[in-house]
Amino acid sequence: MAGSKEIRTKIKSVQNTRKITKAMEMVAASKMRRAQERMRAARPYGDKVRNIAAHMSQANPEYRHPFLVKRDQVKTAGVILITTDKGLCGGLNTNVLRLATNKLKELESAGAKIETTAIGNKGFGFLNRIGAKVVSHAIQIGDKPHLDKLIGPVKVQLDAYAEGRIDVVYLAYTRFINTMKQEPVIEQLLPLTADKFEQTEAEKKAYGWDYIYEPDAKSVVDELLVRYVEAIVYQAVTENMSSEQSARMVAMKSASDNAKKVIDDLQLTYNKARQAAITKELSEIVGGAAAV
């Protein structure tokens, strides 16, 4: 029975691997549900802020916040890169990093300097490896993202933009479409594009009045827009997290399936080897008896 012990050891080790991947799959599945709930819970806030901001920009056309003003020349670009903290989630990070790298190259070839903010461990490590300038980062976000952790790192970019040190800010993350499909995207965060604040006819009609502002319109608009941008980033982080858990679940499921296949193959080889050994032994006995 040549190699039967080796085959048995191998089967055992693959079985252990499968146990782990199976467990990770189930953990990811339950985390995914919660991540999706969190993603949905974050939506109303963003919508509300957008509505109010849209109305205020309509009602106060004379005041243009720097976030809304497009700059002609891009000397320095900011990139906020959202990735996961942990690996083992298929091609999720690879895809978004590839997209971001292409954007960085494009910006560099246009002669722009780049300042990046990394949210998530994987992106942070990547940006450091390629030698990009990382001005701020947020890592170890955990399973439950808190806006609290994001405010500081994002504010670094917003301040730089408001002061004119950065002319455009991009946001790269993985958009959650459904459990099977996630799509890496890179969007322009600042300046805020005007179409986001376009109002429908019905909305225009409904808003035939203006607010009383306390203390004044400018300071409220300022505060609101900062919150709006933060809400977008937070939304992106929750989407990224939903994507991560779904991608991990799918990746771990296919890993478990593959392990199953490997185990089956090995089992077949093992059985064949065992059968061959028995047959050989029998024929030896029969041969021996005939000789006597």
Partner 1 sequence: MSTIHVDVVSAEESIFSGEAKFVALPGEAGELGIYPKHTPLITRIKPGAVRIQRADNDEEEFVFVAGGILEIQPDVVTVLADTAIRGHDLDEAKATEALKQAEEARANAKSDIDFAKATSEFAIMAAQIAAIRKLRGK
Residue 50 and residue 235 in contact, taking contact as beta carbons nearer than 8 Å: no
**Angstrom distance (rounded) from CA 101 to CA 97:** 6
Q: Does 162 bind partner 1 (CB under 8 A)?
A: no
**Widest pairwise Cα distance in the chain:** 114
Q: What are the backbone dihedrals phi and psi of residue 186, each rounded to the nearest 5 degrees, phi first?
A: -130, 120
Helical (H) or strand (E) element with 135 = strand 134-138
- Shortest Å, Cβ 121 to partner 1: 14
> How many residues of this chain interact with partner 1, rule: CB under 8 A?
39
Q: Does 68 bind partner 1 (CB under 8 A)?
A: no
Q: Does 148 bind partner 1 (CB under 8 A)?
A: yes
- Shortest Å, Cβ 79 to partner 1: 14
Q: Does 5 bind partner 1 (CB under 8 A)?
A: no
**Angstrom distance (rounded) from CA 11 to CA 126:** 36
Q: Does 292 bind partner 1 (CB under 8 A)?
A: no
Residue 136 and residue 156 in contact, taking contact as beta carbons nearer than 8 Å: yes
Cα angle vertex 78, ends 76, 83, to 5°?
150
Pick the stretch among 18-26, 88-96, 212-220, 259-267 that binds partner 1 (CB under 8 A): 212-220
Residue 92 and residue 57 in contact, taking contact as beta carbons nearer than 8 Å: no
**Angstrom distance (rounded) from CA 149 to CA 137:** 10
Residue 243 and residue 175 in contact, taking contact as beta carbons nearer than 8 Å: yes
Torsion angle defined by CA atoms of residues 47, 51, 53 and 56, in that order, rounded to the nearest 10 degrees:
-170
Pick the stretch among 74-82, 182-190, 216-224, 242-250 that binds partner 1 (CB under 8 A): 216-224
Among 26, 27, 29, 52, binds partner 1 (CB under 8 A): 52
Residue 95 and residue 184 in contact, taking contact as beta carbons nearer than 8 Å: yes
Q: Does 215 bind partner 1 (CB under 8 A)?
A: yes
- Shortest Å, Cβ 181 to partner 1: 25
Q: Which is nearer to partner 1, 17 or 51 (CB)?
A: 51
Q: Please give the structure tokens belonging to residue 174.
A: 């993985």
For tokens 């990093």, the residue is 97
- String marking each residue 219-258 x if it binds partner 1 according to CB under 8 A: xx--xx--x--xx--x------------------------
Among 77, 100, 114, 138, binds partner 1 (CB under 8 A): 138
- Shortest Å, Cβ 104 to partner 1: 18
Give residue 105's identity as a one-letter amino acid code: K
- Shortest Å, Cβ 63 to partner 1: 14
Among 15, 76, 136, 258, binds partner 1 (CB under 8 A): 136
Among 108, 183, 203, 210, binds partner 1 (CB under 8 A): 210
Q: Which residues bind partner 1 (CB under 8 A)?
A: 38, 41-42, 44-46, 48-49, 52, 56, 134-138, 146-148, 151-153, 155-156, 159, 209-215, 219-220, 223-224, 227, 230-231, 234
